[in-house]
Amino acid sequence: MKIKSFKVEQWMNDYENDAVYNLGETCIDSMTLKELLELSGRNAEEFLASLADKRMTYGYIDGSPELLAGIAGLYKEVHTNQVIPTHGAIGANHQVITSLIEPKDNMVSVMPTYQQHYSIPESIGAEVRPLQLYPENIFLPDLKVLRSLVDKDTKMITINNPNNPSGSWIPLDIMKEIVKIAESVDAYILSDEVYRGIAEDDSYMPSIVDLYEKGISVSSMSKVFSLAGLRMGWIVSKDEGVLQACRRRRDYDTICCGVLDDLFACIALASKDKIFERNRKILNQNRAILDKWVNETEEVHYVKPVAGTTALIYYDKDIPSYDLCVRLIKEKGVLFTPGSCFELEGCLRIGYAFDSKTLKEGLDKFTEFLREI
């Protein structure tokens, strides 16, 4: 199987360790195990000491009952037997696409998005039809264009909601129309929802599985739970065919997730209200910092993100995004992600959900850089 290099991940592998100001990070300020345990009301020292007697077996092959219940609780009317744990959301996306897509199929993928959604089906031999999102439409899907892209051979529509890299969130009325379009050709909708969960106003953010029987939600503990080190993700669907297909493939590429990953994910899921309260404060504070900087910096503009942890910053310099970002990390120690990693130019992706001091200092360094070139 031939597959394209994963541009975002290759970029991070090459340059993340060189960053003084890491504005490429997309997780909300990662927690220590001590912080997680204290948020959950446990004595960190006593709990971690008790792990010395934890037997390192395979554990629950399909996920512990507590884990499945915790994940199901992130949705409306989802049962534990409709949850499949995976090795991160990256494992979940891969498992869904390789389980359901065949060379004879076509599928529609929003663009920009996480590269798995178009490069994996292309490697299988399926036709990928891009649904381009534009800043002029605040990075929301054009329903008329989507209708023109589907036909009887369309197996799946993939969305990324909230969107990475733009930070857009598809309103409920548009989501319902996307469901109608999928229903018209009996297609699945795969929704990558790793940034879903923390709304500015503390309201529930609807998932595709709340709206569509053939909807498939993928998410993880990495972004909104601040626990990327657990490498715990999941697939949720109410479609029995999807669940059966993914479980069959899971025997080949997953078997089970780690017992410690399961354990700490259970603790976090049981404490989600406290974690979301912590992380909502970080998001709201840092979005305000980013917005103020954009409004005060003549050389840049953007569509203000409304969800997630990322935004696309457009700049006014005549330089390719990859070259700009290489110079920026080497000259100022600031890491962004080039727009070219998302098949875009004239822009870069920022992750703004870590500590505010690093964000402010990194943005100031970027302003210096723009004015020097």
- Chunked mean pLDDT (size 10), the chain, 373 residues: 93 95 97 97 95 94 98 98 98 98 97 98 98 98 98 97 98 98 98 96 95 98 98 98 97 95 98 97 97 98 97 97 98 98 98 96 98 92
Query: How many domains would you assign to the chain?
Result: 2
User: For residue 186, is it within any domain?
Assistant: yes
Could you tell me if 203 and 341 lie in one domain?
Answer: no
| Paired tokens of 243 | 């669940």
* pLDDT of amino acid 202: 87
| Residue 145's CATH number | 3.40.640.10
Q: Which residues contact 355 (CB under 8 A, 6 or more apart)?
A: 29
Range of the domain at 288: 7-33+274-372
* pLDDT of amino acid 187: 98
Of 201, 172, 372, 194, the closest CA to residue 280 belongs to 201
Supply the pTM of this predicted model.
0.96
The DSSP code for 303 is: P
Residue after which a domain boundary falls, among 232, 252, 271: 271
Could you tell me if 110 and 235 lie in one domain?
Answer: yes
Residue after which a domain boundary falls, among 241, 271, 301: 271
Contact between 300 and 313 under an 8 Å Cβ cutoff? The reply is: yes
Between CA 208 and CA 217 the distance in angstroms is 6
User: For residue 156, is it within any domain?
Assistant: yes
Could you tell me if 335 and 206 lie in one domain?
Answer: no
Could you tell me if 83 and 220 lie in one domain?
Answer: yes
Residue after which a domain boundary falls, among 252, 271, 290: 271
How far from the centroid of its chain's Cα atoms is residue 45's Cα? Answer: 32
